[in-house]
């Protein structure tokens, strides 16, 4: 994606481990913490930021536009 950033948010459905996966990075076949293979991949648009709150095995994501 010329001129932009490409990244995905990868989230483990078991232990809630998370990482930003940058363009050209190798993906994950399983969670590196617990070994779970149930991972969600959430695309993050160019110039979009996110915050993540983890409480009692639940995740709240908030997406906003970067300035």
User: The domain containing residue 30 runs over which residues?
Assistant: 7-65
Tokens for 5?
């950033």
Q: Does residue 19 lie within any of the structural domains?
A: yes
Q: Does residue 2 lie within any of the structural domains?
A: no
Return the H-helix or E-strand segment holding 51: strand 48-55
Q: Does residue 22 lie within any of the structural domains?
A: yes
Contact indicator for 54, 32 with CB cutoff of 8 Å: no
Beta bridge partner(s), residue 64: 49
Q: Does residue 1 lie within any of the structural domains?
A: no
Q: Does residue 31 lie within any of the structural domains?
A: yes
How confident is the model at residue 39, as a pLDDT?
92
| Residue-wise pLDDT tens digits, 6-40 | 788 899 989 888 888 887 777 788 999 999 999 99
Beta bridge partner(s), residue 54: 59
Q: How many domains in the chain?
A: 1
Fill in the DSSP letter of residue 4. S
57 burial (CB, 10 Å; 0-12 / 13-18 / 19+) is exposed
How confident is the model at residue 52, as a pLDDT?
81
65: confidence class by pLDDT, cuts 50, 70, 90: confident
Quick check: pTM over 0.85? no
């Amino acid at each position: 994606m010329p001129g932009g950033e490409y990244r995905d948010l990868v989230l483990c459905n078991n232990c809630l481990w998370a990482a930003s996966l940058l363009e050209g990075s190798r993906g994950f076949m399983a969670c590196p913490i617990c070994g779970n293979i149930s991972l969600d991949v959430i695309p993050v648009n160019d110039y979009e930021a996110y915050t993540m709150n983890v409480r009692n095995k639940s995740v709240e994501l908030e997406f906003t536009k970067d300035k």
